[in-house]
Structure 1
Amino acid sequence: MLEDLSVTCPYCWETIPLELDLSAGSQQYIEDCSVCCRPIVVRLTVDEGGGFEVDVQGEDD
């Protein structure tokens, strides 16, 4: 189950798209910003009901 979400890059403040794989459950990974190419830490929390929360922050935060 894939979900598209727009987030704000913590470095350049541009809105960027993320494609989230909710079927993999909760996870943390690094994805480069498609605008400034800096590494963003993505924390995805998936609950048992299929809801999810996403937190993004800079790698050095």
Structure 2
Amino acid sequence: MQTTAVYYCAYCGEENLTFVDISAGFEQSYIEDCQVCCRPNILYVRIDEDTLDVEIDTDYEE
């Protein structure tokens, strides 16, 4: 099952839309390039087990 979520680039601060695979677990992390500045962001994804709300934090990829 997939859903969409918004995150803000750790480098340029621009809003990005991403797909999240809920079936991959309630806590995930992966790298995705910003759609605006193309720099790699580490996405830390948390999914609420009851409501399936998605929250994403970002960090710089070193």
Band of TM-score, shorter chain: 0.7 to 0.9
Measure how far apart 1:6 and its partner are: 1.6
Unaligned runs of 5+ in 2: none
Note the residue ranges of structure 1 that are not aligned, 5 or more in a row.
none
Percentage of matched positions with identical amino acids: 42
User: After TM superposition, which residue ranges in structure 1, 4 or more long, deviate above 6 angstroms?
Assistant: none
TM-score by length of 1: 0.78
Query: CA RMSD, aligned part only?
Result: 1.6
Deviation at 1:59, TM superposition (A): 1.5
Residues 1:29 and 2:34 aligned together:
no
The alignment covers a number of residue pairs equal to: 60
